[in-house]
Amino acid sequence: MPKYVDKDARRRGVAAALRRIAAREGLEGVSIRTVAAEAGISAGAVQRDFPTKDELLAFAFQDAVDAVAERFSRIRIGPGRAGFAEGLRAVLLDLLPVDDERRAQARVWAAFYARAAVVPDFARTLADLDGLSRTALRAAVGYAVEQGELAPGLDPEEAVELLLVLVDGMWLTAARRPPGASVDPQRAAVDAAVAAVTGASSREPRR
């Protein structure tokens, strides 16, 4: 009787193997051969699903995005939930490289971002993600405006653009952090960014 192979599970296992290599060695250590060895399967099995390194990277990127989106989905902003400042801070802190998994996700993101400059399919994927991110941020910023949580004088569309830059910056900063490095400076930067976007420093006296 033929052995049943859960292809989705195998593909997720391959993506996880790629991230582990990325966390240890960066994307320079990633190849079909090294990922296969890390995943404990043959190179041929990896190539059946991902004939090229770019296809492997694209899948690992989407897998990382899905994992981050799942974490973000637990952070709800709105009536009876987290306020805008609290939710924004939680989202930005979640991107910090506090463990191997987050550091690997950030490195996959950075590699994908660089490839998007020269590979149209990668650029389209980022454009689609950008569109989804803008929609979500516009809803959050709209709620902030309603609740008076946006910094005085800050245009909502400018706030959305600023937050997109902040998120990109958090990912790229995370990607270059060495294992074990303190993230205290980045936590302080998150607090400063949230204060700037929400105008907290102008509404609340400093202690």
Q: What is the pLDDT of residue 36?
A: 94
Measured at the CA of 8, the angle between CA 135 and CA 39, to 5 degrees, comes to 110
Please report the pLDDT score of residue 2 as a whole number. Answer: 47
Question: What string of pLDDT tens digits covers the 207 residues of the chain?
Answer: 445 567 888 888 998 898 888 778 777 788 999 999 999 999 999 999 999 888 888 888 888 888 877 877 777 787 778 789 998 899 889 888 888 888 888 888 888 888 888 889 889 888 888 888 898 889 889 999 999 999 999 999 999 999 999 888 888 888 888 878 888 999 999 999 999 999 875 444 434
- As beta bridge partners, residue 82 has 77
Cα separation values, 82 from 78, 85, 89, 160, Å: 6, 8, 10, 18
Contact between residue 53 and residue 14 where contact means Cβ atoms under 8 Å apart: no
User: Can you give the pLDDT at residue 201?
Assistant: 55
List the alpha helices (DSSP H) in 75-117: 84-94, 100-116
Q: What is the pLDDT of residue 194?
A: 93
Q: For residues 16 and 30, what is the distance between their CA atoms, to the nearest angstrom?
A: 12
How confident is the model at residue 155, as a pLDDT?
96
Cα–Cα distance measured from residue 37 to residue 20, given in angstroms and rounded to the nearest whole number:
12
Q: What is the pLDDT of residue 78?
A: 74
Q: How far apart are CA 91 and CA 76, in angstroms?
A: 10
Q: Write down the pTM of the prediction.
A: 0.75
Contact in structure between 41 and 10 (CB atoms under 8 Å)? yes
Query: Distances from the Cα of 117 to the Cαs of 110, 120, 123, 137, 169, in angstroms?
Result: 11, 8, 7, 24, 17
Q: 88-109 burial, b for 16+ CB within 10 Å, e for fewer?
A: bbbbbbebbbeeeebbbbbbbb
Q: Which residue is it, tokens 């991107």?
A: 95
Q: Which residues contact 77 (CB under 8 A, 6 or more apart)?
A: 83, 84, 86, 87, 88, 140, 143
Residue 51 carries which DSSP code? S
Cα(126)–Cα(120) distance, rounded to whole angstroms? 10
